Chain A
Amino acid sequence: MTVDLRPERAEPAHAEGAAAPRPVGPSATPGATDERRVKLAIRDLNVYYGAFRALRDITLDVHANAVTAIIGPSGSGKSTLLRSINRMTDLVPSARATGEVMLDGANVLDEQVDVVEVRRRVGMVFQRPNPFPKSIFDNVAYGPRLYGVRGKTLDEVVERALRASALWNDVRDKLRASGLALSGGQQQRLCIARAIAVEPEVVLMDEPASALDPRATLLIEELMSDLKTEYTIVIVTHNMQQAARVADETAFLNMGDDRAGYLVEVGVTSQIFTNPRNRLTEDYVSGRFG
Chain B
Amino acid sequence: MTVAALAVQRQRRRVARRKLVSRVMLALAGLAAAIAVAPLIWIVGYVGLEGARQLSPEFLTALPTPVGVPGGGIANALVGSFMTVGLGLIVAAPVGLAAGVYAAARPDTRLGVTIRFATDTLAGVPSIVMGIFAYTIIVLPSRHFSAFSGGIVLAFIMLPTLIRTTEEMLKLVPASLREGSLALGAPEWRTSLRVLIPAAINGILTGVMLAVARGAGEAAPMLFTAFGNPFMNTDLNQPVATLPHTVFVYAISPYEDWRAKAWATAFVLIAIVLLLNVAARWLTSWRARRMGTLSG
Contact = CB atoms under 8 A, between A and B. Distances in A.
Given A88-B179, A133-B199, A142-B194, A178 B185 contact: no
Contacts of A51: none
Contact of B198 (A134, A146, A191): A134
Interface residue range, chain A? 20 to 34
Given A130-B174, A130-B176, A146-B190, A116 B181 contact: no
B186 interface: yes
Contacts of B290: 178
A198 B185 contact: yes
Contacts of A160: none
Nearest to A179: B292
Interface in B240-296: 290-294
Given A126-B176, A133-B291, A178-B292, A142 B199 contact: no
B108 A146 contact: no
B186 A146 contact: yes
Given A93-B108, A178-B290, A130 B185 contact: no
B67 interface: no
B159 to A, nearest CB: 27
B291 A123 contact: no
Pick the most buried of B185, B198, B290: most chain A CB atoms within 10 A of its CB.
Answer: B185
A123 B292 contact: no
B29 interface: no
A143 interface: yes
Contacts of B91: none
B41 interface: no
A1 interface: no
A198 B292 contact: no
Nearest to B287: A133
A131 B179 CA distance: 11
Contacts of B291: 133-135, 178, 180
Given A130-B176, A133-B198, A181 B187 contact: no
B195 to A, nearest CB: 5
Interface string B181-204: 111111100100011001100000
Shortest 10 CB-CB contacts between residues of A and residues of B? A180-B292, A119-B185, A130-B176, A124-B183, A143-B184, A116-B185, A130-B180, A120-B185, A178-B292, A178-B291
Given A131-B180, A135-B291, 16 more contacts: A88-B183, A93-B108, A116-B186, A116-B187, A119-B183, A126-B180, A132-B180, A132-B195, A132-B198, A132-B199, A133-B177, A133-B199, A142-B194, A146-B190, A181-B292, A195-B184
Interface of B: 108, 174, 176-177, 179-187, 190, 194-195, 198-199, 290-294
